Amino acid sequence: MHIEVVGSGPALVLIHGWALHGGVFAPLVERLSTQFQLHLVDLPGHGNSRDDATPLRLPFVVSAIAAATPPAVWCGWSLGGLFALHAAATLPKVRGLAMIAATPRFVRGEDWPYAVETSVFEQFGQDLAQDYRGTLERFLALDAMGSEHARQELRTLRAALVERGEPAPRALQEGLRLLENTDLRGALPGLATPSLWLAGQRDRLVSARAMQAAAALAPRSSMHVVAHGGHAPFLGHTDEVAAQLQHFVASLS
C-alpha cells in the first residue's frame, strides 16, 4: 500500500474517500506540513496503490496502515472515516480521531434517519458496469454539490481523479459495499480516544445532523460545522478545516 510521508511534527494519518487518493488532500498538506508529519494513504485499488490486492475491508486495510505508520491521529474523509473510526476503536496507537464528512453509518435506517437511502449506493454499483467514467463523474458532482465553491471543488476533484490513474473497478465495488453495509455506531460509546467531527452544512451525502448524532454517542468528542461547506470542506474551506485539525491535535498534548 502506498503511503506518502510529508512534513515533520506530530504524526497525522489522512485517509481519502471513495474513488480518490491521498493527493486529494493537497490543500491541507500545504497548510499543515510545516507542523505535522502527514501520512497520506492511497487505499488499495486507488492511486499509487491501484495494483495492491489487499481487500478493501476494515481489518485488512487498518492493519496494513497501522503497520506502516507511527502512533498518530487518524483523519478520515467520507469512506476513509470508516477506516479511521475502526482503527480508533481497535488500536491503542491511535492518539485521536478526526472525521471529515463521515459517520459510522452512511445509509438510512429506522433509528438513523439522517442518511441516504441504500438504493443510492446500489445504483452507483449497477451504473459502474454500464458507464464507468460517467458514474465517477456523477459521484464527484455529489461531492461538490451544495458548497459555495462547488465549481472550483469539482474541478479539483476531477483533476485528482485522473492524476494517479483511474481506480480499479474491483476496489470501487468493494468501497460501495462498505458504505452500504457498515455500521460502526456500536463502537462509539466505548471509544477511548478523543474525536473531532467536521461537517459541511451543505453536504448532500453526509448530513451534519448525522455527524452531530454520531458525535453525541462518543465520549470526549467535539463537533464543528463548516457553514458553507459541502462534502469536501477541506477543498473550499481549507484554512477553516486546517485550523480545526491544528487545535484538535494541540489539545491532545
Cell readout for 234 is 477541506
Catalytic residue among 39, 203, 224, 237: 203
Distance (Å, whole) CA 189 – CA 208? 19
Nearest to 146 by CA among 100, 196, 206: 206
Distance (Å, whole) CA 157 – CA 149? 12
What are the angstrom distances between the C-alpha of 80 and each of 16, 138, 217? 5, 19, 20
Q: Judge contact between 232 and 147, C-beta under 8 A.
A: yes
Would you call 203 a catalytic residue per the annotation? yes
Q: Judge contact between 33 and 9, C-beta under 8 A.
A: no
For 3, list phi and psi in degrees, rounded to 5. Answer: -135, 115
Q: Measured between alpha carbons, how far apart are the two ends of the chain, in Å?
A: 30
Catalytic residue among 78, 147, 195, 207: 78
Q: Judge contact between 98 and 87, C-beta under 8 A.
A: no
Distance (Å, whole) CA 131 – CA 137? 10
Distance (Å, whole) CA 72 – CA 98? 11
> Angle of helix 150-163 relative to helix 132-144, nearest 10 degrees?
140
Catalytic residue among 86, 149, 231, 237: 231
Q: 40 pairs with which residues across the strands?
A: 4, 14
Residues marked as catalytic: 78, 203, 231
